[in-house]
Structure 1
């Protein structure tokens, strides 16, 4: 049976500031993939993106012919990965501090990928989210989209009594984010690709992550700031499903969406 994360009652008051358009509440299909290898998950994202872009291409023909357009689907994949380092298009290979022998010794793999951003780590205990969304169903603005993902994470952390925020010029979510704070540390990294306003890749929120893996890279190309996790900030492990179930209503409200879990 599918489960729905309904739009909270207060969302109607927030749609204008969230940038919601006249399409109404959008349906987003959620898939919880569990722990999956990186490469096939990347391929799955590419498949979903290509299918959405194909619909948008056909809709140009529908517009010319005066026939009704097809709806583009919105998807959200949630998962964990075995240890893996990924390097974005603008990243520097030297920000990976391990050679092939070192990667094997740490049970990790490495992939150059087509998102923005530099190098990051994915691994067990980290909540990875891959929204495959047609932003023209919401708001065709990549900056709005990134700030919305960040805000959903910030609100989720506030549910745990933690104050997180943004650092100017740096994508992601941080603790000690205020100017002049003594120990800025990143808890959530983000990197996306957008094609014809359809998104892929997404965010990685450290929950119970083994942070030692970040010691083998220059995370996101940033040399002077630390990385942290929810477990480290709270002093105890946190159930992954609990974090997911707190995050999803915030994202639904901010985007003006109904998140419906795909039937198994």
Structure 2
């Protein structure tokens, strides 16, 4: 059973979590270490992957609302990251795990499903492509977007715990017209902060990826 180092950053800027992730990717390439970076964004950010960059007028409007805009190295269109959201960036060796990329994305969906159902959201489900992620009805509760280079993963999933969902109203989340966004707090009818989800998330991660977890106090500046 492999060991995965866990870095719990807590509330930090989204860009800071990305920098920590990139150091973990470098470590994975040099010493074959696997990591899991967990964080909660402290400010509003709109990020997009290889597709779906906002046009100049849209970008100006989003900045005017006080949000940061960042292109990132992952698949997918524009989405929102902000307070009340759990970000999980697994840095794993897919070749060593003998795990094809599509099955890896499916494992992230299974992780999100187990977590949501374990928290009492039995109606959480996965949908066929192109509707990647975890859904409650026609609303996405957990977005998934990954990057894989030299068989090493980065980015991962964003779970809405107690996120202010009004930020999603200014974009087409993940490029999916006619679909909504929801959160654990909205669906369960009570406040679910990120810190209440961390331990159940780690339990599900252990199960899905068949690993042990080693916790690191490294701040990752």
Structure-1-length-normalised TM-score: 0.77
Q: 2:114 aligns with which of 130, 138, 155?
A: 155
Q: Where does residue 87 of structure 1 map in the other structure?
A: 48
Which structure has more RCO (C-alpha within 8 Å, separation ≥ 6)?
1
Cα RMSD for the two superposed structures: 1.7
Say whether the 8 Å CA contact 1:84–1:109 is kept in structure 2.
Answer: yes
**Aligned pair in 2 of structure 1 residues 209, 137: CA closer, same or farther (>3 Å)?**
same
Which consecutive residues of structure 2, in runs of 5 or more, have no partner in the other structure?
none
Extract structure 1 runs of 4+ deviating beyond 6 A. none
Q: Where does residue 33 of structure 1 map in the other structure?
A: 9
**Aligned pair in 2 of structure 1 residues 218, 97: CA closer, same or farther (>3 Å)?**
farther
Structure-2-length-normalised TM-score: 0.91
- Supply the distance in 1 between the matched residues of 2:217 and 2:53 (Cα, whole angstroms): 41
**Aligned pair in 2 of structure 1 residues 97, 143: CA closer, same or farther (>3 Å)?**
farther
Q: Where does residue 45 of structure 1 map in the other structure?
A: 21
Which consecutive residues of structure 1, in runs of 5 or more, have no partner in the other structure?
1-24, 56-71, 177-183
Say whether the 8 Å CA contact 1:97–1:216 is kept in structure 2.
Answer: no
Q: Rg bigger for which structure?
A: 1
SS state of the match for residue 90, structure 1?
A: coil
The CA deviation at 1:48 is: 2.0
The CA deviation at 1:261 is: 1.4
Say whether the 8 Å CA contact 1:194–1:200 is kept in structure 2.
Answer: yes
Q: Where does residue 218 of structure 1 map in the other structure?
A: 172
